[in-house]
Amino acid sequence: MSREIKRIGVLTSGGDAPGMNACVRAVVRTATNHGIECVGIRRGWSGLINSDFVPLNGNSVAHIINKGGTILYTARCAEFMNPEGRAKAINTCKLLGLDSIVAIGGDGTFRGALALSRQIAESGQKLSVVGVPATIDNDIGCSNYTIGFDSACNTAIEAIDKLRDTMQSHERCSVVEVMGRHAGFLALYVGISVGATAVLIPERELDFQNDVVEKIRRARLAGTTHFMIVVAEGVGKAYDIAKRIEEEVGIDPRVTVLGHIQRGGAPTARDRETASRMGYRAVQVLLEDTGNRVIGTRGGDILDIEMEEALNMVKPLQMYRYEVLENLTQGARFRT
């Protein structure tokens, strides 16, 4: 079943992720090809409350597929979490004549979209919303992959490779904190890719003696004179880990917190291509009139899932990746 759509609002919300612009471009150009107008809502849900918008067309999204960040800006909005704030957003939807919204972001973005749609439905009107997962944390339960993850991993890997050069020259230990919020996807993926001595992730209870101290000792006995410890921010502060290493091993670690550098830079090919397919699918879902949905990936395919069901899904970390790390580094007593 298809429906007539006149005007789509598109926004980016929460933490920015490389590839968001590619997704915005895909939504706008797909909609334009179907004769649908697009309105860019700036600064996420805050922009919908404050009527902060810009008209978009196929030409206005030219040359943004390679740009990091988001041309629509992004923000977190506490006011949108209450019915009064959403009522203001509903007035903006009425003013602009929006009958659909594509919300690009993470779990909080989707929950906001669903709450808005339900509140509008209570008034007897309809607003279809589609969520597109974009977060470097890769922690959206309904999707194997989220826009921005690959770019963030590559940024962290490039930085750590450079750190390794100087750590090797000075025969030192480096403790690197990467982002990921409460998930260890980014840390583990990066840790395997750089051949880290140890990777600390929130999904695995930390045994400091076995997970850090003994791995450094085994590496030293195998002939390694420099050590790379990757810490997910959900585990704790890298400075605290470094202090314990100094106390228990007697070496003087250097700490690097990569921070928001992981969110910046041009998106990789994977993020540009995935974002383009997701944005295209988001418009197709709206045209099919299948209700509020979240776009996701599974086995390389793009799919869509009912939004409430999607929000209840949990994605466990694939712990076999940790086994890979163990066997390729100190678990087998090799030099990193």
Cα distance between residue 48 and residue 89, in whole Å: 5
pLDDT at 222: 87
pLDDT at 168: 83
Burial of 205 (0-12, 13-18, 19+ CB in 10 A): exposed
pLDDT tens digits, the chain, 336 residues: what are they?
Answer: 567 899 999 999 999 999 999 999 999 999 999 999 999 999 999 999 999 999 999 999 999 999 999 999 999 899 999 999 999 999 999 999 999 999 999 999 999 999 999 999 998 888 999 999 999 999 999 999 999 999 999 999 999 999 999 888 878 899 999 999 999 999 999 999 999 999 999 999 999 999 999 999 999 888 888 899 999 999 999 999 999 999 999 999 999 999 999 999 999 999 999 999 999 999 999 999 988 999 999 998 999 999 999 999 999 998 999 999 988 875 445 555
CATH topology of domain 7-148+267-299: Rossmann fold (3.40.50)
Cα distance between residue 279 and residue 122, in whole Å: 28
Burial of 176 (0-12, 13-18, 19+ CB in 10 A): buried
Amino acid (one-letter) located at 300: G
Phi/psi for 41 (5° steps) reads -95, 115
**Pairing state between β 53-56 and 37-41:** antiparallel
pLDDT at 332: 45
Known catalytic residue: 137? yes
| Residues listed for the chain | 336
Q: What CATH code would you report for 150-264+318-332? A: 3.40.50.460
Which structure tokens are listed for 266? Answer: 């041009």
Q: Is residue 38 within 8 Å of 53, Cβ to Cβ?
A: no
Amino acid (one-letter) located at 146: T
Q: Do the two domains 7-148+267-299 and 150-264+318-332 of this chain adopt the same fold?
A: yes
Which structure tokens are listed for 58? Answer: 């196929």
* Active-site residue, from 99, 137, 139, 304: 137
Which structure tokens are listed for 174? Answer: 């480096």
Closest by CA to 295, choosing from 313, 273, 277, 312, is 277
Taking CA 72 as the corner, what is the angle to CA 65 and CA 232, rounded to the nearest 5 degrees? 75
Which structure tokens are listed for 230? Answer: 């990757």
Q: Domain ranges in the chain? A: 7-148+267-299, 150-264+318-332
